[in-house]
C-alpha cells in the first residue's frame, strides 16, 4: 500500500490544523445534505464530485464520469425535521462534448407553525457539464423549485422559482482536486400565490479533495464562503461553516467513512457510514449524530441509505 510522502503529510497537517482553528468560528443556520456517501463524510463533496451526486454538489464533476448511472438516497427517519427526504438522479456522460444529468429532491421542513417557513418543496434539476481541457471541467444546474406551506394560523400557500448554479472542478494532480459551487446565482425569486416574492441569496461553496493513496480520500468544504467576504473577515458575523470528511477503502468492496458536519458556532455533528460495492451496484449508509447539538435535538440522529447502479 502506498504511503504519503513528507509533502503529503504536510498537506494533511495543514488541512487538519485549519479545520481545528476555524471550527470555533463556524456558523450555519440549517441542516441540508443529499447523498448517503456525502453525509457520512460530513457533508463534503464539492472538491471531489466523482459520482452521480455531483449534480447537486458540483455539476462540473459529471463531465469526468465514465458511465451512465441511476442513484437514489432516502432519509429513513426524522423526515419531518431533516431538510431533504429523497434524492433521485440519472446521469448520462459524454453526449458529444457535453454530459447531462437529471435529478429530483423532495424537501420537507417540519410541522406547520405560525412562522411561515416552508413546509415542503420539490426540486427538478437539469445539469450540464463540459470538459474544458484535461483535468478541468465546468458545469451548471438549471432548477425549478415548487414549494407549499400551511401554517396553523394561516392559509395554504404555494410558490415557485427558477434557480441557477455554476460549478468548476480541477484535477490539480493525481492526488489533489479543487472545486467550487456558486449556488443560487439566479434566476428568479420565489413567487407566492398571495402575490409576494422572496429572494434567494448566493452561496459560494469551495472544496478540496486529497488522495494520499488509492484507498484514502480526505475532503474539506466551506459552506457560505461569500458570507465571510460580506462580513469583511469577521468570523463572528459571518455564516461561514467548515466541514471535514474521510473515506477509507478497507477492501475493494468495503469503505468506512467519517466526518464532522459543522452546524453553528461551536456546534456540529459527527457523521459516519459505510459503502458496499459489488460490480455495477453500490450501497451507501450514513448516520448523522446531532442528538447533543443545541437547537437540533429533535433530529435525534438521522439515518440515510443510498443505492447506485451503473450501466
pLDDT tens string 195-249: 888 888 888 899 999 999 999 999 999 887 665 555 444 444 446 678 899 999 9
Q: What is the pTM of this model?
A: 0.81
With bands split at pLDDT 50, 70 and 90, how would you rate the model's confidence at 148? Answer: confident
Which comes out higher in pLDDT, residue 151 or 16? 151
In the block, which residue shows the cell 469551495?
206
User: How confident is the model at residue 264, as a pLDDT?
Assistant: 59
The 10s digit of each residue's pLDDT in 280-299 is 999 999 998 875 555 555 56
Residue 159 to residue 109: CA distance in whole angstroms: 15
Q: What does the alpha-carbon distance between residue 60 and residue 207 come to, in Å, rounded to a whole number? A: 13
**How far is residue 175 CA from its own chain's centroid?**
21
Phi, psi (deg, nearest 5) at residue 188 = -145, 170
Helix (H, G, I), strand (E, B) or coil at 182: strand
Q: Contact, 77 vs 85, CB < 8 A?
A: no
Distance set, CA 38 to CA 33, 50, 130, 245, 262 (Å): 7, 11, 23, 8, 14
The C-alpha angle with vertex 103 and arms to 144 and 43, in degrees rounded to 5, equals 100
6-310: what fold?
Porin (2.40.160)
pLDDT band at 143 (very low <50, low <70, confident <90, very high): very high
Domain boundaries, the chain: 6-310
pLDDT at 111 over 60: no
Answer yes or no: is pLDDT of 120 > 50.
Answer: yes
pLDDT at 296: 56
The most confident of the ranges 63-67, 196-200, 263-267 is 63-67
- The average confidence (pLDDT) of the chain is 80
Which candidate, 131, 127, 231, 132, places its Cα nearest to that of 181?
A: 127
Of 58-67, 104-113, 174-183, which range is least confident?
A: 104-113
Amino acid at each position: 500500500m502506498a504511503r504519503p510522502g513528507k509533502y503529503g503529510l504536510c498537506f494533511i497537517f495543514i488541512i487538519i490544523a485549519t479545520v481545528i482553528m476555524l471550527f470555533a468560528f463556524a456558523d450555519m443556520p440549517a441542516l441540508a445534505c443529499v447523498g448517503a456517501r456525502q453525509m457520512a463524510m460530513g457533508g463534503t463533496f464539492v472538491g471531489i464530485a466523482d459520482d452521480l451526486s455531483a449534480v447537486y454538489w458540483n455539476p462540473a464533476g459529471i463531465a469526468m464520469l465514465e458511465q451512465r448511472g441511476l442513484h437514489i438516497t432516502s432519509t429513513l427517519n426524522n423526515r419531518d425535521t431533516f431538510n431533504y427526504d429523497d434524492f433521485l438522479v440519472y446521469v448520462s456522460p459524454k453526449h458529444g462534448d457535453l454530459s447531462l444529468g437529471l435529478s429530483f429532491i423532495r424537501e420537507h421542513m417540519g410541522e406547520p407553525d405560525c412562522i411561515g417557513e416552508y413546509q415542503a418543496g420539490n426540486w427538478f434539476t437539469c445539469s450540464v457539464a463540459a470538459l474544458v481541457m484535461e483535468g478541468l471541467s465546468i458545469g451548471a444546474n438549471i432548477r425549478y423549485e415548487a414549494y407549499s406551506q400551511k401554517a396553523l394560523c394561516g392559509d395554504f400557500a404555494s410558490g415557485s422559482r427558477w434557480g441557477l448554479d455554476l460549478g468548476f472542478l480541477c484535477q490539480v494532480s493525481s492526488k489533489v482536486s479543487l472545486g467550487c459551487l456558486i449556488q443560487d446565482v439566479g434566476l428568479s425569486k420565489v413567487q407566492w400565490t398571495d402575490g409576494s416574492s422572496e429572494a434567494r441569496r448566493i452561496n459560494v461553496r469551495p472544496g478540496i479533495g486529497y488522495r494520499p493513496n488509492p484507498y484514502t480520500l480526505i475532503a474539506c468544504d466551506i459552506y457560505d464562503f461569500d458570507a465571510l467576504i460580506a462580513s469583511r473577515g469577521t468570523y463572528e458575523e459571518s455564516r461561514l461553516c467548515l466541514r471535514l470528511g474521510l473515506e477509507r477503502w478497507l477492501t475493494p468492496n468495503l469503505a468506512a467513512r467519517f466526518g464532522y458536519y459543522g452546524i453553528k458556532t461551536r456546534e456540529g455533528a459527527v457523521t459516519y457510514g459505510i459503502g458496499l460495492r459489488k460490480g455495477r451496484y453500490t450501497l451507501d449508509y450514513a448516520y448523522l449524530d446531532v442528538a447533543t447539538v443545541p437547537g437540533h435535538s429533535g433530529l435525534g440522529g438521522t439515518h440515510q441509505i443510498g443505492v447506485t447502479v451503473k450501466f
